[in-house]
């Protein structure tokens, strides 16, 4: 068990699920303060005893309502780390279309909308947060998540903070539906023959044994998995050296139904065999 202090900052786009993430952390026994100005982060950590009591789990939810948000947040993180506190930034993301839908459903304006349109507020916030997102330790795209799915993901990432090593989320997807925006690494399985063109396999997906066996039996499938496993081992060592605790690996094919699903399951199994903590999700299965 690490004795290094840990402090989580939850931020991201308004409407992307910050409150849900905060409630999930609270249920895991974390001390969470919502809507905290960045300038008060260190004072909060010190008050909570974070600098001296490393066993405590403390998180703060911050947003962009401060005009100097980025500058204040960067300064607060530097101050915390300068006092020996390990800071992890979680950034919640969602597509513009999904954010618009959520705000319209609750009939609330965007906090940065002003006299403009809803999309103007979203665009302004995305611009302000660009640097924060780029430097975040964990980016979670909630576009296709309901509150229960987001909660499950937070619990998966933070429910076992005492366990060492890199936590990996392997997600299969279809390129025709777009890349997962929270992916750290992306691989393409379209070099393999597509089971879609095999009539008996078309209704199935990569979780079904006939599809899995078909995909894994193709020339190049095993060689790809062997090579990618070695690459990921090198990457995992580098991530650990840089202090990165979470990684999302995206495995894609055309529709995200057959090849990517089967290969994602194999990648996850191999990483587990190497002692990594892995969860798997299949973003586009059932989307057709």
Run means of pLDDT, 10 residues per run, the chain, 288 residues: 64 92 87 82 68 63 74 83 85 93 89 88 91 89 87 80 71 95 94 96 96 97 96 89 83 97 97 90 90
Q: Evaluate whether 10 touches 21 at the Cβ level (below 8 Å).
A: yes
Residue 106 tokens, joined: 């609750």
The pair phi, psi for residue 111, each rounded to 5°, is -60, -20
Q: List, as residue ranges, the binding site for GTP.
A: 63-66
Q: Evaluate whether 169 touches 141 at the Cβ level (below 8 Å).
A: no
Q: Evaluate whether 26 touches 158 at the Cβ level (below 8 Å).
A: no
Local structure of 151: helix, strand or coil: helix
The pTM of this model reads 0.65
Q: List, as residue ranges, the binding site for ATP.
A: 12-19
Q: Comparing C-alpha atoms, which of 186, 212, 216 is closest to residue 201?
A: 212
Residue 49 tokens, joined: 């005893």
The pair phi, psi for residue 134, each rounded to 5°, is -65, -30
* DSSP percent split of the chain into helix, strand, coil, nearest 5: 45, 20, 40
Q: Which residues of 36-62 are buried (b: 16+ CB within 10 A; e: fewer)?
A: bbbbebbebbeebebbeebebbbbbbb
- Which pLDDT belongs to residue 199? 96
Q: List, as residue ranges, the binding site.
A: 12-19, 63-66
Which residues in the chain are classed under CATH 3.40.50.300? Answer: 7-159
Residue with tokens 């997962």: 180
- Which pLDDT belongs to residue 67? 55
- Which pLDDT belongs to residue 4? 45
Is domain 7-159 annotated with CATH 3.40.50.300? yes
């Amino acid at each position: 068990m690490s004795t290094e202090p840990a402090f989580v900052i939850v931020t991201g786009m308004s409407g992307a699920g910050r409150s849900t993430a905060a409630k999930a952390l609270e249920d895991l026994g974390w001390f969470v303060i919502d809507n905290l100005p960045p300038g008060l982060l260190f004072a909060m950590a010190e008050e909570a005893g974070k600098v001296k009591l490393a066993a405590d789990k403390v998180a703060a939810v911050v947003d962009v309502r401060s005009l100097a948000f980025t500058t204040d947040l960067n300064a607060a993180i530097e101050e915390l780390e300068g006092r020996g506190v390990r800071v992890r930034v979680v950034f919640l993301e969602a597509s513009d279309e999904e954010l618009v839908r959520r705000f319209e459903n609750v009939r609330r304006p965007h906090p940065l909308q002003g006299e403009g349109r809803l999309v103007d507020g979203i665009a302004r916030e995305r611009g302000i947060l660009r640097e924060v997102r780029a430097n975040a330790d964990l980016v979670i795209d909630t576009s296709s998540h309901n509150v229960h799915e987001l909660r499950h993901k937070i619990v998966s990432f933070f429910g076992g903070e005492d366990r060492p090593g890199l936590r990996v989320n392997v997600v299969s997807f279809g390129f025709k539906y777009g890349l997962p925006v929270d992916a750290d690494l992306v691989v393409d399985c379209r070099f393999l023959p597509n089971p879609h063109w095999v009539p008996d396999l078309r209704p199935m997906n990569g979780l079904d044994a006939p599809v899995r066996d078909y995909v894994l039996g193709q020339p190049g499938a095993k060689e790809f998995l062997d090579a990618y496993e070695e690459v990921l081992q090198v990457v995992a060592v580098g991530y650990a050296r840089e202090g990165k605790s979470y990684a999302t690996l995206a495995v894609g094919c055309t529709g995200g139904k057959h090849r990517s699903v089967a290969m994602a399951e194999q990648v996850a199994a191999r990483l587990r065999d190497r002692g990594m903590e892995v969860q798997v999700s299949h973003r586009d299965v059932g989307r057709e």
